[in-house]
Amino acid sequence: MKSIYVHQRTLPQGWETAVRRCWDEGARFRTQYDKPGDPPSRDVACLIHVTEPFAEPRIHKAFPGGLEDLEAYRAEVLYGVHDHWVAPEQGKWEYTYHERLRAYRVPGLDEPIDQIAEAVRMLRLTPYTRRAQAVTWQAWKDAGIADPACLQRMWFRVEKDEAGGPDRLNLVVHIRSNDAFKAAFMNMFAFTELQRQMARDLDVEPGEYVHVADSFHIYGSYFEEFEGFLKMIEARPDRYFTSEFARPMFEDGVRRLLTEEDLPDEKRAVMQTRLEELKTPGEV
């Protein structure tokens, strides 16, 4: 087993440093998703501390996936645009993070729990509390399902600025299993967007972000693609996008969601509002 600690100012710097170190330093582990002939994955226990997660440029050019996909994933985490796809009895999704965070169902309770709203309530009462968290793991069923949640827990605390600046909401995320190359940047981006949304609800500034993964890994089946990623970042000093640059592609991502025929009416209304935000100068 190997472990790494990464301390960087911005989100893309944190992700790039961590994924490169996973490649260089990772232990070799087989995985349950390997195909015959795949080499063992490279795997580390990882802590990434990003001190200014909203500093621009905020997006890495080389993360796998497009900017439209990044906006769609943001919409899944923040708004639950695909919660209606959760139907394991029909062979569909087992869960979404939004459904687990904002509609957490506990045996014996009639109504689901909105853990994010409860965390905001607790932080309003006691900003420095250590009890404001949201969990995804449902111990009574997740150990036996085919696709158990990777995200395990989010922990929030408001920190006062000793120099008299604005209070800030910090976020620590704990992930059981994290695909370092194909998923981690999108995870970090969307989770910090939730952090920003909660900070607005609390009337504080978004603060620092800590990303903890028990298994931060690069699958053997990705090695050839990852070597191309390494060549790209070695050759290009301009490796990052600003949010402003990404705005038109984010708009396209929202429009793509709006074309989904099964998108519920209430989610369609939320995405229409998001589209208007993206068209507003200063709102990204």
- How does pLDDT run across 115-145, given as a tens digit for each residue? 999 999 999 999 999 999 999 999 998 988 9
Phi, psi of 74 (to 5 degrees): -55, -45
Q: Is residue 278 part of a domain?
A: no
The neighbour count for residue 50, using CB atoms within 10 Å, is 24
- pLDDT reported for residue 82: 98
- pLDDT of 260 > 90? The answer is yes
Question: Domain limits at 28?
Answer: 3-242
Q: Is residue 100 part of a domain?
A: yes
- pLDDT reported for residue 89: 86
Contacts of 277 (CB under 8 A, 6+ apart): 283
Confidence band for 173, pLDDT divided at 50, 70 and 90: very high
- pLDDT reported for residue 97: 98
Q: What is the pLDDT of residues 84-122, one digit of tens each?
A: 999 988 889 999 999 999 999 999 999 999 999 999 999
Give the residue carrying structure tokens 């582990």.
29
pTM summary value = 0.96
Q: Is residue 270 part of a domain?
A: no
CA angle, residues 179, 242, 177, in degrees to nearest 5: 10
Q: Both tokens of residue 248?
A: 């038109």
Instruction: Give the C-alpha separation, 118 to 230, whole Å.
Output: 42
Tell me what percent of the residues of the chain surpass a pLDDT of 70. 100
- pLDDT of 51 > 90? The answer is yes
Q: Cβ-count burial of 94 within 10 angstroms (0-12 exposed, 13-18 middle, 19+ buried)?
A: middle
What percent of the chain is helix, strand and coil (3-state, nearest 5)? 40, 25, 35
Q: What is the CATH number of the domain that holds 183?
A: 3.30.572.10
What is the number of domains present in the chain? Answer: 1
- pLDDT reported for residue 266: 97
Q: How far is CA 42 from CA 11, 25, 26, 232, in A?
A: 22, 8, 5, 20
- Between these two residues, 89 and 243, which has the higher pLDDT value? 243
- pLDDT reported for residue 259: 98
Q: Is residue 262 part of a domain?
A: no
Q: Is residue 205 part of a domain?
A: yes
Confidence band for 258, pLDDT divided at 50, 70 and 90: very high
Nearest to 216 by CA among 58, 77, 15: 15
Contact between 175 and 213 (Cβ < 8 Å): yes
- pLDDT of 199 > 90? The answer is yes
Confidence band for 239, pLDDT divided at 50, 70 and 90: very high
Give the DSSP H/E element, type plus range, for residue 41.
strand 41-50
Mean pLDDT confidence for 59-71? 96
Phi, psi of 153 (to 5 degrees): -160, 145
Q: Is residue 124 part of a domain?
A: yes
Q: Is residue 276 part of a domain?
A: no
Confidence band for 225, pLDDT divided at 50, 70 and 90: very high
- pLDDT of 278 > 90? The answer is yes
Confidence band for 162, pLDDT divided at 50, 70 and 90: confident
- pLDDT reported for residue 60: 97
- pLDDT of 164 > 90? The answer is no
Contact between 241 and 67 (Cβ < 8 Å): yes
Residue 39 is given by DSSP the state P
Contact between 239 and 10 (Cβ < 8 Å): no
Q: Is residue 33 part of a domain?
A: yes
User: What is the average pLDDT score of the chain?
Assistant: 96
